[in-house]
Amino acid sequence: MSVSETTPSIDHYSNLFQTFETGLNGGSDHAIHDVRRAALEALCREGFPTRRDEAWRHTNPTPLSSGLFGPVDAPRPDDGTLSTWTVAGLTEGARLVFINGKFDESASRLPDTPHGVRIRRLSQAIADGDAAVSFLGRIASSEEGGLAALNTAFIDDGALIAVESGIDYTTPVEIIYLTTPGEQATLVTPRTLVVAAQGSRLQLVETFVSLGEGEHLTAPVTEITLDDEARVEHTRIQNDTHQGHHASLLFVNEAQDSNFTSHSLGLGGGFVRNDVTTVLAGERIESTLNGLFLSRGEEHVDNYTSIEHAAPGCESHELYKGVLADKSHGVFRGKIHVHQIAQQTDAYQSNQNLLLGDDAEIMSKPQLEIYADDVKCSHGSTTGELDEQAIFYLRARGIGEAAARRVLTRAFADELVERISHDAIRAHVEALVTQRLDQLLDSGE
């Protein structure tokens, strides 16, 4: 990568870092600041990704590096706006709300938790020397520069969830990151760290939403570490405006006999890129990646997933679906990498897409890279329009054409919604999907 191509933005972020560093006061002496400095050095050295990078071959990353984004303070949205994005059925669990990266105490809820469960602001955990902070940056490498380095360089606040050995914490934790753009291009770099110790269990909902007009870049990083026999179910909801640039990274490391499930819901945004990397580092792991994205207008949505089978006897299951209307454009690139040591791997990957208009496009590239010989692996991709015979069948039974299209589109999406195990979270996601599908279908009529 030629750093000269991104020099203006690199210089901008170098200057921004100096201002950020000055504002830390005594915090710049903390060990975590060495991590920040190393990330900035990597960003300056390697720069941002370009179209020449294989991982960005089908998405032009220029909008992420050409804008001079910076932090902007924002007022708290009204309660009605917040309630749209909170899970109505969760009335007792922890809820951490951040607005443009700043913790909002009045909108948050931090009840007492059982011994061995810590749910807290990342900034406080860093200041207090919480042992879990040592996991920060272990699996989200910023050595190659790019968005992980940008996020790590500006780590300020975010959420830390740590569950100690053997604790079954069944109450879901909500984390809501709101971006409210200002008059200048707005930068928000949320950070979430989850540490699930041996035999623990955790349910987590992360929501990323942008409100109002204005150009902005939300560049979150989430790190999830599962020790032996840990179980984590992670639901991620993303919704940005048409001026929004959203580029997220989710890194997961799984130890033996652990179980990780991801549900990713994309509700739109002008430019959206979601990277998911999970490493199955121990034996007998079960890992599941579910994804659903719904786009319209001229939105661009790119889902890039990587599943690393680095130990024998593991299972991975991946199903991503897309519904695209108008002139929206989607990309799915999923890779299952089976290392030579990973014998007896059972891996399945599928991408299914529904196009609601002639101008909607999807580029789908599922991949298998296998170096073991005792495996059971498969992958597939399908893209098409609504089945005209199914529409005719419903119309023959007195259902109008518009209603028939809604029924079939909803059935296509419901397969993923129904996989969410928690009733309240599933109902919340179901309502958001219904509203978004109505928008897609209305725009195509």
For 188-239, the pLDDT digits (tens) are 999 999 999 999 999 999 999 998 888 999 999 999 999 999 999 999 999 9
Q: Quick one: pLDDT at residue 6?
A: 45
User: Is the CB of residue 101 less than 8 Å from the CB of residue 191?
Assistant: no
**Residues linked to residue 300 through DSSP beta bridges, in sequence order:** 271, 329
Check residue 170 and give its pLDDT.
Answer: 86
pLDDT at 5: 45
Contact call for residues 290 and 264 (beta carbons, < 8 A): yes
**The pLDDT of residue 76:** 77
Q: How far apart are CA 409 and CA 378, in angstroms?
A: 26
Dihedral sign, Cα of residue 321, residue 326, residue 328, residue 329: positive
| Cα distance between the two ends of the chain | 44
Q: Spell out the SS3 assignment of the chain.
A: CCHHHHHHHHHHHHHHHHHHHHHCHHHHHCHHHHHHHHHHHHHHHHCCCCCCCHHHCCCCCHHHHHCCCECCCCCCCCHHHHHHHCCCCCCCCCEEEEECCEECCCCCECCCCCCCEEEEEHHHHHHHCCHHHHHCCCCCCCCCCHHHHHHHHCCCCEEEEEECCCCEEEEEEEEEEEECCCCCCEEECCEEEEEECCCCEEEEEEEEEECCCCCEEECCEEEEEECCCCEEEEEEEEECCCCEEEEEEEEEEECCCCEEEEEEEECCCCEEEEEEEEEECCCCCEEEEEEEEEECCCCEEEEEEEEEECCCCCEEEEEEEEEECCCCEEEEEEEEEECCCCCCEEEEEEEEEEECCCCCEEEEEEEEEECCCCEEEEEEEEEECCCHHHHHHHHCCCCCHHHHHHHHHHHHHHHHHCCCCCHHHHHHHHHHHHHHHHHHHHHCC
- The low-confidence residues of the chain, meaning pLDDT below 70, are 1-7, 26, 444-445
Categorise residue 137: left if φ over 0, alpha if ψ from -120 to 50, beta otherwise: left
Crossing angle of helices 31-46 and 7-23, in 10° steps, is 170
Structure tokens at 210: 């942008």
Strand ordering across the sheet containing 95-99: 102-103, 95-99, 168-179, 201-210, 231-239, 259-266, 286-295, 315-324, 345-355, 375-384
